[in-house]
């Protein structure tokens, strides 16, 4: 239910942002501002936060017209996939994140792999495009997730038992390779997507996969 309400709030935000960008009538502007405020109030009610703070964030990005683009890197070795344990929730996931302006999708996947796992690699194949609304993502904004198979011979960055991060960034507690039937507790969205990525890697599903 929360995911559905976040999606409704995100759609209202996108409609308001588009309207405020193009409207020329003062009355229309007031209506779109009200829609934007309604979206902020809905998110605040879900999070128990301040609608004013959320609205301020919204007003700092009125170019939110369409879903955000994200990437993930799938590095396979001996039938196992490389996962990172996230610092924010302690669960495991494919290395990934948002695409930066000026990057191709493949470049973003390679960068995220380095930043989160300390691994250099080369994107070799687009495995699939996943809609966050359909795959259990906790994001309050709709994302399109592009999952690339990345080839690499690097060993992942090491981490201490206490979780002290030795990778280039501090978003990750641990890294490791896991087989399909020995997966650790996975972060929401990844728990349903990673098994599909294994099937795509084996050729059991046509790549690239996309949500119909």
Q: What's the mean pLDDT when you consider all of the chain?
A: 89
Task: Report the alpha-carbon distance of residue 184 to residue 171 in Å, rounded.
Answer: 18
Superfamily, domain 68-210: Nucleoside Triphosphate Pyrophosphohydrolase (3.90.79.10)
CA nearest to 129, candidates 195, 206, 209: 209
d(CA 71, CA 115): 13
Give strand pairing partners of 93. Answer: 84
Q: Where are the domains of the chain?
A: 2-59, 68-210
pLDDT tens figures, 145-186: 999 999 998 887 655 444 444 445 567 999 999 999 999 999
Q: With CA atoms as reference, report the closest residue to 141 among 74, 38, 49, 70.
A: 70
Give yes or no for a contact between 103 and 199, defined as CB atoms under 8 angstroms apart: no
Q: In the chain, helix, strand, coil percent, each to 5?
A: 40, 25, 35
Can you read off the two tokens belonging to residue 145? 């997730």
Query: Rounded to two decimals, what is the model's pTM?
Result: 0.76
């Amino acid at each position: 239910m929360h995911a559905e309400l976040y999606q409704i709030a995100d759609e209202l935000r996108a409609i308001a942002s588009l309207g405020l960008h193009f409207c020329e009538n003062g009355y229309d502007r007031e209506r779109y501002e009200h829609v934007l405020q309604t979206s902020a109030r809905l998110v605040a009610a879900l999070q128990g936060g301040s609608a004013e703070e959320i609205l301020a964030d919204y007003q700092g990005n009125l170019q939110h017209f369409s879903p955000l683009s994200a990437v993930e890197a799938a590095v396979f070795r001996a039938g196992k996939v490389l996962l990172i344990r996230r610092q924010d929730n302690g669960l495991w996931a494919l290395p990934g994140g948002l695409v930066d302006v000026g990057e191709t999708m493949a470049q973003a996947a390679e960068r995220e792999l380095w930043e989160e796992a300390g691994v250099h690699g080369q994107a070799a194949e687009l495995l699939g495009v996943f809609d966050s609304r359909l795959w259990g993502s906790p994001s309050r904004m709709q994302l399109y997730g592009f999952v690339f198979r990345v080839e690499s011979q690097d060993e992942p960055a090491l981490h201490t038992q206490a979780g002290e991060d030795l990778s280039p960034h501090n978003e990750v507690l641990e890294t490791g390779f896991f087989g399909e039937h020995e997966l650790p507790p996975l972060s929401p969205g990844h728990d349903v997507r990673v098994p599909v990525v294994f099937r795509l890697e084996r050729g059991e599903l046509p790549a690239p996969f996309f949500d119909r």
